[in-house]
C-alpha cells in the first residue's frame, strides 16, 4: 500500500547554504537590486579578494621562517577557499537544477519503509556533514580570538597572522584595532565560505547514496506481487530506469559544480596540514596555541574527509544496484521487460566513481593519501632541520 506522505523539499536541507550565499552577496535580493549589487561588490572585493590578497602580499615583507610558516597556515587555505566559493557561485544555476532533480527523486518515495530509511538514515547522514562543520567553524573562530586575547594579556599583542597593511598596525592602538577587526571579519567570512563550499559536495553525495539504496530496494521487489500484471511490472521497471538515469545526471552535475574546488583542495590539503604540523612542532610554545592549531588541523582534514567518505558510500550503493536488478522476478516477465532489464544491468556495470580534474578518484583512499602526504612534508622538514 502506498504511503501518502512524501519527504519535504531538499531546499530545507540546504537552507543554511542559501542563507550564507545570500549574506555573502551571491544570491541577489529582488527588493533592493541596486543596493544589493553595491553590497555584494564591496563585500567580495574587500573580503573575498582583499583578505587573501593582504595575506599573500604579506609574504613579501616577512623576515623569519616562523612568520613565513605562520602566514602560510592561513594564506594558502584562504586562497583555496576563495577559489572553491567563486567556483560554486558561477555554478548556482546548476545548484538549483540539482536541487530540482533531488526533489523529483523524493517524489518517488511512496512506501513506508522507504520513507523511514530516508528520514532515519539519508537525511541524518547529510546533516552530519553540516553539523560537523558548524563545530569546526565555531571552534576555529572562538579558539582563534580567545588565543589572541590570552596571548595579548599574558605576553604581547599581535595580529592573528602577519600580513600586508598600507599602515603600521602596531604604531597606534587605533591602527591595531582596525587591522585586527579586518582580520577577524575576514576570518569569519572565510569560515562561512568554507562552511557552504565544503559541506555541499558531501551532503549531495550522502543524498545520492541514499537514493541509490532506495532504488535498489525498489527494483528488487518488482515482479513478486501476484496482483500486478506484466504491464504494471514493466511500468515500475521503466520508472526505476528513469530514476537510475537521473542519479547518473545528478552525479555528473555535482562533479561540474564542485570539481575544480575539490581538485584544488586535494592538491593543497597535504601541504596545508604539513605546514600546520611543522609550525606546531617547531614554534608553538604554549597550551593555548596548541589547542587552536589542533582544532585548525582537525578542520583541515575534515575539509576533505566527508566528501571522500560519502563518495565511497555512493560507489558502494551503486555497485549493489547490479545485484538488486538481478534480484527482481525477471524470469516470469515479458521479453520487453527482460531487454530493458539487460540494458539497465549493462549501465550499472560501469564504475560510477567521483573524479575531479580527470586525475583524482574521490574516495577514502585519496583521503588517506592526503594524510600520508602531510606526514611526508613533516618528515622532509625534520630531515632538513
121-139 pLDDT, tens digit per residue, is: 999 999 999 999 999 888 8
Please write down the HEC assignment for all residues of the chain.
CCCCCCCCCHHHCCHHHHHHHHHCCCCCCCCCHHHHHHHHHHHHHHHHHHHHHHHHHHHHHCCCHHHHHHHHHHHHHHHHHHHHHHHHHCCHHHHHHHHHHHHHHHHCCCCHHHHHHHHHHHHHHHHHHHHHHHHHHHHHHHHHHHHHHHHHHHCCCCCCCCCCCCCCCCCCHHHHHHHHHHHHHHHHHHHHHHHHHHHHHHHHHHHHHHHHHHHHHHHHCCCCCCCCCHHHHHHHHHHHHHHHHHHHHHHHHHHHHHHHHHHHHHHHHHHHHHHHHHHHHHCCCCHHHHHHHHHHHHHHHHCCHHHHHHHHHHHHHHHHHHHHHHHCCCCCCCHHHHHHHHHHHHHHCCCCCCEECCCEECCHHHHHHHHHHHHHHHHHHHHCC
Of 180, 221, 194, nearest in space to 329 by CA = 221
User: Could you tell me if 29 and 22 are in contact, meaning their C-beta atoms sit under 8 angstroms apart?
Assistant: yes
**Number of other residues whose CB lies within 10 A of the CB of residue 130:** 19
Q: Up-side HSE of residue 224: CA atoms within 13 Å toward CB? A: 8
Residue 134's pLDDT is 92
pTM to 2 decimal places:
0.89
Residue 378's pLDDT is 77
Residue 212's pLDDT is 92
Residue 3's pLDDT is 44
Residue 205's pLDDT is 94
Cα–Cα distances (Å) from 309 to 92, 205, 362, in that order, read 24, 9, 9
Residue 269's pLDDT is 87
Blockwise average pLDDT, block size 10, the chain, 385 residues: 53 90 87 87 86 86 83 87 89 94 91 91 94 90 84 80 88 90 90 92 94 92 88 90 90 89 87 87 81 86 91 89 86 88 80 68 88 82 68
Residue 129's pLDDT is 94
Amino acid at each position: 500500500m502506498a504511503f501518502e506522505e512524501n519527504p519535504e523539499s531538499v531546499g530545507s536541507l540546504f537552507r543554511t547554504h542559501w542563507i550564507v550565499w545570500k549574506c555573502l552577496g551571491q544570491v541577489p535580493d529582488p527588493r533592493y537590486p541596486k543596493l544589493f549589487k553595491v553590497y555584494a561588490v564591496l563585500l567580495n572585493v574587500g573580503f573575498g579578494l582583499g583578505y587573501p590578497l593582504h595575506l599573500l602580499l604579506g609574504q613579501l615583507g616577512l623576515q623569519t621562517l616562523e612568520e613565513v610558516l605562520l602566514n602560510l597556515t592561513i594564506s594558502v587555505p584562504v586562497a583555496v577557499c576563495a577559489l572553491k566559493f567563486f567556483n560554486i557561485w558561477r555554478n548556482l544555476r546548476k545548484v538549483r537544477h540539482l536541487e530540482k532533480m533531488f526533489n523529483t527523486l523524493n517524489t518517488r518515495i511512496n512506501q513506508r519503509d522507504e520513507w523511514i530509511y530516508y528520514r532515519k538514515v539519508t537525511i541524518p547522514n547529510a546533516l552530519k556533514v553540516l553539523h560537523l562543520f558548524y563545530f569546526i567553524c565555531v571552534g576555529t573562530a572562538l579558539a582563534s580570538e580567545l588565543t589572541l586575547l590570552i596571548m595579548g594579556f599574558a605576553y604581547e599583542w599581535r595580529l592573528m597572522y602577519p600580513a600586508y597593511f598600507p599602515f603600521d598596525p602596531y604604531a597606534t592602538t587605533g591602527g591595531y584595532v582596525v587591522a585586527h577587526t579586518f582580520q577577524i571579519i575576514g576570518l569569519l567570512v572565510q569560515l562561512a565560505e568554507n562552511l557552504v563550499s565544503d559541506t555541499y559536495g558531501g551532503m549531495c553525495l550522502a543524498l545520492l547514496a541514499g537514493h541509490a539504496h532506495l532504488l535498489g530496494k525498489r527494483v528488487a521487489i518488482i515482479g513478486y506481487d501476484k496482483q500486478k500484471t506484466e504491464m504494471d511490472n514493466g511500468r515500475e521497471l521503466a520508472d526505476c530506469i528513469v530514476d537510475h538515469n537521473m542519479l547518473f545526471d545528478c552525479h555528473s552535475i555535482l562533479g561540474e559544480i564542485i570539481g575544480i574546488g575539490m581538485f584544488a583542495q586535494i592538491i593543497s590539503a597535504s601541504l596545508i596540514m604539513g605546514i600546520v604540523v611543522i609550525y606546531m612542532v617547531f614554534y608553538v610554545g604554549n597550551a593555548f596555541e596548541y589547542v587552536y592549531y589542533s582544532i585548525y588541523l582537525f578542520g583541515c582534514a575534515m575539509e576533505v574527509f566527508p566528501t571522500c567518505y560519502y563518495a565511497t558510500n555512493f560507489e558502494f550503493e551503486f555497485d549493489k544496484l547490479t545485484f538488486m536488478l538481478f534480484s527482481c522476478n525477471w524470469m516470469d516477465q515479458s521479453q520487453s521487460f527482460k531487454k530493458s532489464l539487460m540494458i539497465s544491468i549493462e549501465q550499472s556495470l560501469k564504475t560510477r566513481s567521483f573524479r575531479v580534474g580527470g586525475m583524482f578518484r574521490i574516495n577514502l583512499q585519496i583521503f588517506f593519501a592526503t594524510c600520508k602526504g602531510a606526514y611526508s612534508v613533516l618528515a622532509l622538514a625534520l630531515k632538513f632541520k
